[in-house]
Chains A and B, each alone.
Chain A
Amino acid sequence: MNERPALLQMQGITKRYPGVVALEEVDLEVRRGEVHFLLGENGAGKSTLMKILAGAVQRDAGTIIIDGCISELRSPREANDAGVSIIYQEFNLVPHLTVAENIFLGREPAARLPGLIDRARMEQEAQQRLTELGVVIRPDAVVDDLGVAEQQMVEVAKALSIDAKILIMDEPTSALTNQEITRLFHVIRTLRDRGVAIIYISHRMEELHRIGDRVTVMRDGRHIATRELTSTHLNELITLMVGRALTEHFPKVAVPAGEELLRVEGLKRTGVLHGISLTLHRGEVVGLAGLMGSGRTELARAIFGADPVDGGRIWVRGKEAKLDSPRAAIALGLGFLTEDRKRQGLVLGLDVTANTCLANLDRFSAAGIVSPGQEMAVAKKLTADLRVKTPDLHQLVVNLSGGNQQKVVLAKWLCREAEILIFDEPTRGIDVGSKVEIYQLINRLAAEGKAVLMISSEMPEILGMSDRILVMHRGSIAGEFSAAEATQEKILHCAVGAKAA
């Protein structure tokens, strides 16, 4: 079985982004007719590697050999021509077109008159593809009317309609029910037996042994190991994924926890959050770990009143509160540093001063008229305090660097004197120097008696900064650890659902 020939060889693939090496000399070899898992923590480089293979991202160095031919893969089209097809986690279907129209989008069979589409043939061929997959979907159904699992099958049919030899699937089961997963796996096995190579990215460890043949583990943009799954234990893989000891330095200063500032009990949002309970105390930094899609951001938004909830109670400083809008949450002293600064945190077209004062404009205005003097004074103090690097206070925030933008968001909440701060990925996309500064600021906030809930996908950050760590898995808290007992292995076990909550 090991002698099946390699269909795909990626050698020495390197990709650099300004300031970051996303991939460093990564090798990947995939055989004909196998399901090859790609495993790694968030940010390990799996997605970048697959985007390179799909022609969506250009590599800086390295060779790709498909079926014995060196392939450049300069565009998705070239990748298609070489027999590579990718199904992203977010589907790429046009919702208002039919199944057949989607499958043949951009490659519609021509009728005799140029410019016209041979609809009958298109639907017939679509039908044939779907039948081959063993699924019952009408080719003339509108995609928007289909369920998620059916849409996925349309994606698979579309991928195969180019006669793909290599099919990449990114988290294909994240939105499926168990029954649908069984059916998807059946289809995957059918494809494998027909000689298609399937590269499968998933955070669900339980799927490894159900469907996988081999696995490649990546970490920090490098290839760590490739193993046969029949002879590899789950624990070994987790150790490989985590790998390193903590090398970064975290200036953690422990502060004795004070009174309870926030209590959440049984917070529910149908299909997203399943009864979450947690507490935050003065002086505490609580880390919220979990994989992408585990519901961490959704939890933060629900607490902050940005999304409606279907149940649960919240107490702030011991008093029950109804946080049904961000405005209500802010009035009680909550602040939310969103994951996506540019889309949710800042008004990029306004200047540093206006952004700093946005959440607390009442403080600087009388009868609706804003006092520029007062605004500037506070903005000046906060930007100096947080060491925001900006030429002046009227600089538009769009022109600041990521780290400085993040500091402006923080300044906004400090200006509001928020006491309960939710940080969602506070150091994402920020250079190392600014990171340390953000950590120091988080420490300072805790020392001042504020409470911080820190969502992070970076293990070292979670372990280095938290007093207490909560781990989420599929919309529930799967585990809680004190700083002393937490290890990367324990957290990862919880996060992938490998251990019962």
Chain B
Amino acid sequence: MKIPNRLARNARQFGTFAVFVVLCAVISILTPHFLSVSNLLNVAQQTVINAIIAVGLTYVIISAGIDLSVGSILAFSGVVMGQALGAGLPLPLAIAAGVAVGTGCGAVNGLLIAYGRLPPFIATLGMMSVARGAALLVTDGRPVSGFSESFRWLATGEVMGVPVPVLIMILVYVAAHFVLRRTKFGRYTFAIGGNEEAALLSGVPVRLYKLGIYAVCGGLAGLASVILTARLNSAQPIAGLSYELDAIAATVIGGTSLMGGRGSVVGTLLGALIMGVLRNGLNLLGVSSFIQQVVIGAVIIAAVLLDTFLKNSKR
């Protein structure tokens, strides 16, 4: 076997990329509107929220965990930020408060999982309900609306023709990729997910890093809520319903293993884009949203089936 090693090791990523390209090609043949600049920016805009949340989930899933609470955390962060803005807090402080709430919720998840030894599924399932309830509680169930132009710029503004949310997403991905590949935090994330016992016996402070991973995941949900709130000009306590499932789907389509220890943020970005392009393309083609759900579900299953198949054929 003389396949260049680098290529072989990243086969899954190239595969995801190929699927993405083929998908784009097929859709652009079926509908010429797809490749227009405005539509592509539209796709990117629509993908941003899911893509940012999915980065957090990629970290969590690589560490062999799961986070079901990101959708609720997004709503809770959003309404806290909305109320802070309403109370006249300066913009940067209000945004920081929103992100901090997300990070805090994530840290609580991490505490429960790392120090309370709860299964991640249970801890974050609980948080999913707690954060949602908290969001409804602080707003009395009503959306917080009407924000300043400068805040809304975060969703509607452009820098050199690139929408600000897309720019934020790009920055998040560059940073997340760097952290995952080049820092201790990233290395330990892989080590914990790949073999927690070995990591522990190698002196990795496993619990501390788990706490950090969930905190980051919560913080990114908080960041996503900033963009969503600015876009809707409203912070909704019922925002983000089932966003966690979209984020998990993007992560899995991108080749991150639910067993932990394997994955990449580049793959996750492709996964999120595949989902975005699929939705957009099916919309352009006038396919009903019911059928869209069926198609996206099928894609998720196909991605994991492919992974399983590739893994078995290697042995």
Contacts and interface: CB of A to CB of B under 8 A. Distances in A.
A56 interface: no
Contacts of B188: 361
Contacts of B6: 394
Interface of B: 5-6, 9, 182-185, 187-188, 190-191, 194-195, 197-205, 261-262
Given A343-B197, A396-B9, A359 B190 contact: no
Q: Which of A347, A362, A365, A395 has the most CB of B within 10 A?
A: A347
B184 A347 contact: no
A77 to B, nearest CB: 26
Contact of A370 (B187, B194, B197, B200): B187
A370 B205 contact: no
A382 interface: no
Interface in A228-246: none
Nearest to A395: B5
Interface residues of A, number: 34
Contacts of A359: 202-203
Contacts of A416: 203
B195 A326 contact: no
Given A306-B201, A358-B204, A347 B194 contact: yes
B183 A370 contact: yes
Interface in A314-348: 326-327, 329-331, 336, 338, 343-348
A362 B187 CA distance: 12
A372 interface: yes
A302 B205 CA distance: 18
Interface of A: 304, 306, 326-327, 329-331, 336, 338, 343-350, 354, 358-359, 361-362, 365, 368-370, 372, 391-392, 394-396, 412, 416
B201 A370 contact: no
B311 to A, nearest CB: 11
Contacts of B9: 394, 396
If over half of B's interface residues share one DSSP class (helix, strand or loop), that class is named, otherwise mixed; here it is: helix
B205 A347 contact: no
Contacts of B190: 347, 349-350, 354
B2 to A, nearest CB: 10
A418 B191 CA distance: 20
B203 A348 contact: no
Given A345-B198, A372-B182, A396-B9, A350 B203 contact: no
A391 B5 contact: yes
B203 to A, nearest CB: 4
Given A354-B187, A369-B183, A346 B200 contact: no
B197 A327 contact: no
Contacts of A343: 195, 197-198
Contacts of B201: 304, 306, 326, 336, 338, 344-345
Given A347-B194, A349-B261, A326 B5 contact: no
B291 to A, nearest CB: 37
7 closest A-B pairs by beta carbon, nearest first, are A330-B203, A347-B194, A359-B202, A349-B261, A349-B194, A327-B203, A347-B195
B200 A348 contact: no
Contacts of A346: 195, 198
Contacts of B195: 343-344, 346-349
